[in-house]
């Protein structure tokens, strides 16, 4: 009797696990089919093959004006592609050249806090890799957790903390994109970091370095959260970038990143934080940011 009872319990448990696995695989299949469909739509509009991909953060979209443009494509023209809803994010791909280097530039990104699933948040990065980009240059506007930072500083990202935002690799692995358990010990490429340091010295740009943490947003961090981030070793905090870096690292891209420190985070700043303040600070830092990014990309 005991054996039969155990068998009765075993069957529903196995069925439940099978249903969970099938649901996961079906969802991941949909994610991949959506990605391939988006790539196909872009390819119907342009055959441009980029070497580097650049993601422009809040207030930094004007950099696209310095690109020798071959073509542009609005996110809204790609069926199923997530559309940015944040002020300061134009929402389009720019294909062209920085010096002699072919690039694809995201003029505005999508964020998890906009309500998109994390698979949509990283879809653009995956798409740019499948278009041919081998290098990913991530930028963002961030709050300074390190009290020695000042508004307008540029910080090269040496590492990140991702435990506060959803990991884009959760669920069945897409083996065609990368391994199940990607190593994260060197996400931000050492060679690219050297290039950034050399470019900053040549352009006489003071460059901070540190650890970036992504939180979900859209609310800014509380003073207690900022103190926690400081204890964890974070130097800057924002609402993007890390999920993109994880997805790109999964696909084998070389990655570098720069944060524009737009203000000191809550508890370190004497005034309440606003998105307008972030955009204004990013605009002020834009000339040196443009100069640094251009020099780095040219050296690729």
Residues annotated as catalytic (active site), given as ranges? 58, 89, 111, 113-114, 141, 239-240, 263, 275
Other residues' Cβ atoms within 10 Å of the Cβ of residue 125: 27
Give the C-alpha distances (Å, rounded to integers) separating 195 from 51, 126, 212: 16, 24, 19
Write the DSSP string, 248-277.
HHHTT-EEEEEEEEEEEPTTTSSS---HHH
Could you tell me if 138 and 241 are in contact, meaning their C-beta atoms sit under 8 angstroms apart?
yes
Rounded Cα gap, residues 294 and 238, in angstroms? 23
Could you tell me if 95 and 47 are in contact, meaning their C-beta atoms sit under 8 angstroms apart?
no
Both tokens assigned to 228: 């926690």
Beta strands 135-144 and 153-161: pairing type? Answer: unpaired
Both tokens assigned to 8: 């009765």
> For tokens 């972030």, what's the residue?
278
Q: If DSSP codes are grouped into helix, strand and coil, which group holds residue 232? A: coil
CA-derived radius of gyration, the chain: 21
């Amino acid at each position: 009797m005991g054996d039969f009872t155990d068998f009765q319990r075993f069957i529903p448990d196995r069925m439940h696990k099978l249903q969970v696995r099938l649901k996961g695989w079906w969802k991941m299949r949909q994610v991949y089919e959506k990605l391939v469909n988006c790539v196909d739509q872009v390819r119907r509009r342009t055959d441009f093959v980029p070497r580097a991909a650049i993601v422009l953060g809040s207030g930094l979209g004007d950099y696209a004006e310095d690109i020798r443009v071959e073509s542009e494509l609005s996110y809204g023209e790609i069926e199923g592609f997530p559309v940015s809803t944040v002020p300061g994010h134009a929402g389009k791909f720019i294909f062209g050249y920085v010096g002699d280097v072919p690039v694809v530039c995201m003029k505005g990104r999508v964020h998890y806090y906009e309500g998109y699933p994390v698979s949509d948040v990283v879809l653009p990065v995956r798409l740019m890799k499948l278009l041919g980009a081998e290098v990913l240059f991530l930028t963002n506007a961030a709050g300074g957790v390190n009290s020695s930072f000042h508004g307008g500083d540029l910080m090269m990202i040496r590492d990140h903390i991702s435990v506060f935002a959803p990991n884009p690799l959760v669920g069945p692995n897409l083996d065609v994109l990368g391994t199940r358990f990607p190593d994260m010990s060197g996400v931000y490429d050492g060679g690219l970091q050297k290039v950034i340091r050399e470019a900053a010295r040549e352009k006489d740009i003071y460059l901070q370095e540190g650890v970036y943490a992504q939180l979900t947003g859209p609310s800014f961090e509380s003073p207690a959260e900022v103190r926690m981030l400081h204890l964890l070793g974070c130097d800057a905090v924002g609402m993007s970038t890390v999920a993109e870096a994880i997805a790109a690292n999964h696909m084998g891209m070389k990655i570098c990143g720069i944060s524009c420190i737009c203000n000191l985070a809550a508890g370190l700043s004497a005034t309440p934080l606003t998105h307008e303040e972030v955009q204004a600070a990013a605009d002020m830092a834009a000339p040196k940011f443009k100069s640094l990014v251009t020099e780095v990309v040219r050296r690729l």
